[in-house]
Amino acid sequence: MFGKNTFIIAGIIFLTLLFTAAAGCIGSSQTDQNAVLKIATPNEITEASYFGNYNFAQMTRVATPPLVQVDENGEYIGALAKSWTVSSDGKTWTFTLDPAYQWSDKTPLTAEDVKFSLEYTGEKVTTSPSWIKNAVITTNGNVVTIGLADPVYRLCGDLAAINIVPKHIWGSIDDPEEYISAGPYVGSAAYYVQSVDINSATLVLAANPAWKGTDPYYGTVEIHWFATEDAAIFAMLGNECDTYWKYGASFPTGSAALLNSSEKFTGVETPSLKMSYVGFNTISSQAGGDKAFRKAVAYALNYDELVEISASGYGMTANAGFIPNSVPYYKETPANIYDLETAKSKLDLAGYKDVNGDGIREDTNGKPLTLTLLSRDKVAGELIKEYLEKAGLRVEYKFASDLNAWIELKDALAYDIAYNGITPKGMMMDSGWATGYFASNTVGAGKLQNVDDPAFLGLCSAIATTPDGGMLRSLISDLQDYYAENMPGIALYWCLDVTPINTEIDGWYISKAAGILNEINLVSVHPVN
């Protein structure tokens, strides 16, 4: 018979085995210098300029991280900063640095580097936010304090786009946007940029020997860019690359079916900040300025089909409150419903009747009505035209074939209804919560600026000057009520992002802003044992 000891020994052996196995699964904390992770992307680096090239700047966020970054839920978390506080007046921001980050040339990273980078960006980079120029930045040990002239509550959004670079390198470079170098570039995170070659279309990230955080598994991460999206996807499916990444964008939803049919890849769906909508010209259009008309149109749009065709099925039908359910302070509002009969009767009630019996509705005065529909998306534009016509409206379709034409038409308010898309960055621009797309007192190429209602503009400025908390929550609640009640725009669908996941690799972490190309993910990915 077995004694008690036998059981204990067996138990110990079993537990030891279990731990070893578990450790194996978690992945060794040792870096395998020969292991390479290859990422395919359609984001081309057209010139090797760290500050001048937009795509290069996005890719190097993982080598010279900003103070803060966006996590998998869309919230701001620390990157180079371990923690931060903000004063109640929104003017003083204090950041404490994370000691894990050290320059790859063994120089210590200090608060001076942060101060330098912020001021350097403010001075020399064209797209830098305006508050930097008037800010007073002070350092104390590993603490950086930003003193603002005017309160800025959504500072993190700007900070997440400013790379913190080594002062001892960039201090002597006068025009960073024009500065071109094939690398290496000194970095501070788990990886630094070892080389960038626009002839071979490859960016090489090497493990940073000075990095004090968790060791990554892959000794090298290569980013390969391709001239077309198809070539990048072919490279991934053809096993040339391990995964696919595109800045701020989903895997092309039309091709997502390919992931499900391949053995090596699977698509992970995550709610996005992206969405699409139709906006009404509430300023100079008779019908567009009529709330009853807008609400009637909301019943005429076939939301399910729009998701199916325009978003290839990767979207969710939206609510009257406009903003997607993954945005902070979202609240439930009535869902947008497609019901052609209701749309027709509401149009009748609003006075848009077919008086002369030709099957086409006239305006409230009985005069002929032609709605001008503006779109720069071929598929969505055609669908919306069809829906409006089904409701008995005559539509003149203006397709903006390029940005020039679009800007010209929408700035002249030469439309009654316009189809437009909202990007994750745009969702939070200006006062945030998509207000930037509506407010007539802002300007921008992607915006319709179609609402000049003082009530709405007042709400926007109140939001801009309110810190996070209960006060802001109630303002955003009011905003959603405004969207639902007045319908200056109708949300068509909220997008779902598709991220292709290589099932032979484990530990994927998908940031809401940067996708898989984020620091946390690069440290956590490792092959499945």
| Cα 449 from Cα 436, distance rounded (Å) | 8
CB of 231 to another protein, least distance (A): 6
- Residue selected from 101, 226, 245, 265 as contacting another protein according to rule CB under 8 A: 226
- Side chain identity at residue 441, one-letter code: N
Residues 298-327 that bind another protein (CB under 8 A): 308-309, 312
What track of x and - describes contact with another protein for positions 438 through 477 (by CB under 8 A)? -------x--------------------------------
CB of 15 to another protein, least distance (A): 47
- Residue selected from 228, 345, 356, 529 as contacting another protein according to rule CB under 8 A: 228
Residues 402-431 that bind another protein (CB under 8 A): 402-405, 407-408
Rounded (5°) CA angle 254-257-262 = 140
What track of x and - describes contact with another protein for positions 166 through 195 (by CB under 8 A)? -----------xx-----------------
CB of 261 to another protein, least distance (A): 9
Q: Which residues contact 380 (CB under 8 A, 6 or more apart)?
A: 276, 306, 310, 419, 492
CB of 254 to another protein, least distance (A): 4
Using the rule CB under 8 A, give the single segment among 222-230, 292-300, 318-326, 331-339 that binds another protein. Answer: 222-230
- Residue selected from 143, 173, 258, 462 as contacting another protein according to rule CB under 8 A: 258
**247 sits near another protein (criterion: CB under 8 A):** no
CB of 40 to another protein, least distance (A): 9
Q: Which is nearer to another protein, 176 or 328 (CB)?
A: 176
Q: Which residues contact 92 (CB under 8 A, 6 or more apart)?
A: 86, 145, 146, 147, 148
- Residue selected from 225, 415, 456, 482 as contacting another protein according to rule CB under 8 A: 225
Q: How many residues bind another protein (CB under 8 A)?
A: 51
**340 sits near another protein (criterion: CB under 8 A):** no
Q: In the 8-state DSSP scheme, what is residue 518?
A: S
Is the Cβ–Cβ distance between 312 and 496 less than 8 Å?
no
- Residue selected from 169, 231, 355, 360 as contacting another protein according to rule CB under 8 A: 231
CB of 257 to another protein, least distance (A): 7
| Cα 209 from Cα 227, distance rounded (Å) | 33
* Residues β-bridged to residue 498: 269
**201 sits near another protein (criterion: CB under 8 A):** yes
Radius of gyration in angstroms for the set of CA atoms belonging to the chain, rounded to a whole number:
26
CB of 225 to another protein, least distance (A): 7
* Sign, Cα dihedral of 265, 270, 273, 276: positive
Best CA proximity match to 191, nearest among 207, 202, 211: 207
What tokens does 302 get? Answer: 């076939």
Which parts of 287-379 are beta strand (E)? 315-317, 370-375
CB of 233 to another protein, least distance (A): 6
| Cα 210 from Cα 197, distance rounded (Å) | 24
Q: Which is nearer to another protein, 193 or 233 (CB)?
A: 233
Q: Which residues contact 228 (CB under 8 A, 6 or more apart)?
A: 42
**127 sits near another protein (criterion: CB under 8 A):** yes
Q: Which is nearer to another protein, 284 or 312 (CB)?
A: 312
Q: Which is nearer to another protein, 95 or 185 (CB)?
A: 185
What tokens does 34 get? Answer: 């020969």
| Cα 297 from Cα 300, distance rounded (Å) | 5
Q: Which is nearer to another protein, 77 or 405 (CB)?
A: 405
Using the rule CB under 8 A, give the single segment among 394-402, 412-420, 428-436, 469-477 that binds another protein. Answer: 394-402
- Side chain identity at residue 322, one-letter code: F
What track of x and - describes contact with another protein for positions 29 through 68 (by CB under 8 A)? ---------------x-xx-x--xx---------------
Distance of CA 183 to the CA centre of its chain: 28
Q: Tally DSSP H helices, then E strands, for the chain.
A: 17, 19
**129 sits near another protein (criterion: CB under 8 A):** no
Best CA proximity match to 522, nearest among 225, 216, 224: 216
| Cα 384 from Cα 389, distance rounded (Å) | 8
- Residue selected from 30, 88, 126, 365 as contacting another protein according to rule CB under 8 A: 126
Q: Which is nearer to another protein, 58 or 333 (CB)?
A: 58
Q: Which is nearer to another protein, 209 or 254 (CB)?
A: 254
Q: Which is nearer to another protein, 86 or 301 (CB)?
A: 301
Is the Cβ–Cβ distance between 272 and 497 less than 8 Å?
yes
Phi/psi at 462 (5° precision): -65, -40
| Cα 487 from Cα 279, distance rounded (Å) | 8
- Residue selected from 216, 252, 315, 515 as contacting another protein according to rule CB under 8 A: 252
Q: How many C-beta neighbours within 10 Å does residue 223 have?
A: 25
Using the rule CB under 8 A, give the single segment among 249-257, 269-277, 432-440, 488-496 that binds another protein. Answer: 249-257
Q: Which is nearer to another protein, 159 or 320 (CB)?
A: 159
Phi/psi at 243 (5° precision): -155, 180
| Cα 257 from Cα 268, distance rounded (Å) | 12
| Cα 299 from Cα 282, distance rounded (Å) | 18
Is the Cβ–Cβ distance between 241 and 235 less than 8 Å?
yes
Which residues contact another protein by CB under 8 A?
44, 46-47, 49, 52-53, 126-127, 177-178, 197-202, 224-228, 230-231, 233-235, 237-238, 240, 252, 254-255, 257-258, 308-309, 312, 378-379, 382-383, 386, 399, 401-405, 407-408, 445
